[in-house]
Structure 1
Amino acid sequence: MQYRELLDQLRTHVASLFQTHEDERFIYHNLHHTEQVVENVVRIANHYQLSDQDFFIVVAASWFHDMGYFFDCTQHESQGASLANDFLSANGVSSEVIEQVKGCIMATKMPQNPEGLLQQIVCDADLFHLGSDRFKERNRLMRKEAEAFIKHKIDKADWRIKTIALFKAHHYHTEFCQQLLNAKKAENLAELESKLIKEQNVDTTGVSKFDNSKDNESKEGKKKKNDRPERGIETMFRITSTNHQRLSDMADNKAHIMISTNSIILSVILSVLLRKLEDNPHLIIPTLLLLIICVVTMVFSILATRPSIPTGVFTTDDIKEKRVNLLFFGNFYRMSLPEYENGMIKVMEDRDFLYGSLIKDVYAQGVVLGRKYRLLRIAYNVFMFGIVAAVLAFIIASALVTM
């Protein structure tokens, strides 16, 4: 089967369909979007070095995946699969390949649940922009398209809420896209949530300028206290905790890299170099230096990831004085369920206690992060400068022997 030639015909066929069914309302789901998805598919497929047949399947699916919008927006995946079936059958493609192409198209239906690498590639290519610099532009075009179809403006805050929900429900399926796009996707999500917080923090209540009585002043003081933007505060805590968790995961990954790298170096030293030191005594000092560097780096990396757990017990006085943070497991894991339940009920009933616990939780996360990154910095510095010193020691030792 000449898959490359067929893909050229397929591209021409799809472009012709877009021209034939041109609709100005499709500001997002147009030929440009389809071409971008195809470009993304090719990029991911090249990474996984797919066979010619598998490459054809994912590229063909990406060309047809949104064609159904011209016929039925609510069932565009099945319409696109039907169009693909008609074209591929007319060009002599086997039924097995056609079924795989249709499966890839149907896998893009939200919520995505792809089966196998080929479907995962098409799904990730379809929402590739969520983790790219093009997200703002593509998201704006999608909102304009939705407004064109419903024929009225969509509130930006409402659109952001729905977009944030999409971000949180979505995840990239291929390891390639996870490594390439997850960081930028998290930045895009954080920016969306930040903008939403700012909008929710806008004070639209207003206070009368002509009421100067003491009663009104006391009411105004209460109003300022009680009218704090609840959703904005909750979103702020959620974003902060998420960012801290992401930074903690990054620190753990960095520590694991250091531990794995130095474990490999240590195994080489112990299994190879130590046996040859009797025949090469000039390498004793450089080898010991490298050994010490690896051990010290591993120690600091392990210390950065080693958990520290409190006593896990709180008292009734801690609850009364609001000294304990019941949102962290280390403060209650040795308490009985009724005691913890009573404590949490008091936390939920007291607004200041609740927000105080959230503040303590965020602060505690920050303290732990500070310790992790401080120890990691030491580990990386020891490894960076130490490996340079060890290499220089090996070079000097070898040079002295040859002299």
Structure 2
Amino acid sequence: METTPVIKKAKAEILRQAKTYITTLFEEKLPKQLVYHSLKHTTLTVKEVRALGEAAELDASNQEALELAAWFHDTGYLDTYDGHEYRSMERAGEWLQEQGYPTDRIAVVREMIRATHRDEPRETELQQILVDADLCSLGREDFCASGELLRAEWEAVLGRSYSNTEWAEIQFTFLLSSKFRSHAAKERYGEQYKANVKEQKKRLKKIEKKEKKKKEEVQGNFAEGKRGVETMFRTTYDNHVSLSQMADNKANMMISLNAVILSILITYLGAKTSSIGPAFTRNPILTVPMGLLVATALGSVVSAILSAQPDVTTFKWLKKSPAIATNRRINILFFGNFTKLSLDDFQGGMNELMRDKDLMYTNMITDIYYLGEVLSRKYRLLRISYTIFMVGLILTALSFGIVLLYKA
């Protein structure tokens, strides 16, 4: 007659210890990004398994194991995100073994936690109850609020971002693909689950309607501003062509000027060598300014030639790549891109482009971007050419001045 209270007291004690251990563990070590799989979620799961276990009229031993599994089922998140259930099993087994918990009951707890993994079977009633409690938000009024916490957690931990429409579709699909397995869970969450399905369906339609209306408004505004958009593109193209011509003219000027300088120097030095012998035998110090002038002219003309050199942007087309017209990195209107395609691919891409105004503008924007890259390279090399020429002339003049002072 006195053994029953002692057993109940022992059972209550292991649950209190588990609660204290998990609470401290989560408060100290659980990553802050886990806003859904938090201590609050674990506490709610324990509360729900307690209610479901009582409704299912479980015996005290199974009820205790169920609550222990609920406390430990998310502890694996401290170590890993995907597949955390298996790490949770290990943590539960290690801790329960330290407490001297029976080995056969530890196995029951571990198998319940294993069942919470999406790919594991849920065969026993205890496993089904734990899984149902873990997914109790499907049948609660705070389903949408819980979903937003999960959305924020995925964005912070997994780097996955979803639009409102995408998230509403994910939630609706999850609702339809999920179901409560235990009889107790069906009784407890069934009505609210159906209400959540209807509400989410209504929410999805509302979001899709709103997004469609917004898209139509944008397209309408885009059509109204068509003339302004076309003027912008035309002006931008004209500016790019003018800047490119200006860069080529400046490069040609530098090429001509430095080519003349090099020709004069080579002719002069060649004539001196042939007629009077080595020009700098008597004045070897003159090699310094003359060498500077030759290096200046050579460096400047090379940079100018590189600037004026044609630069065609290309890409490597693979058959496994996305459709031509929808690839934002490809400009099908530019010969440097479309000459890499077969005639069939080019014709298909052009037909697709002509059917979609957005794709056409995207290709034009891509073309402007690549033109800007070419212009940037041209002016960078042109600036180098002018800088070499300027610095070289200054150094040459200074060196000639020093030579004259030295000879004097």
Q: Which has the larger radius of gyration?
A: 2
TM-score (norm. length: structure 2): 0.49
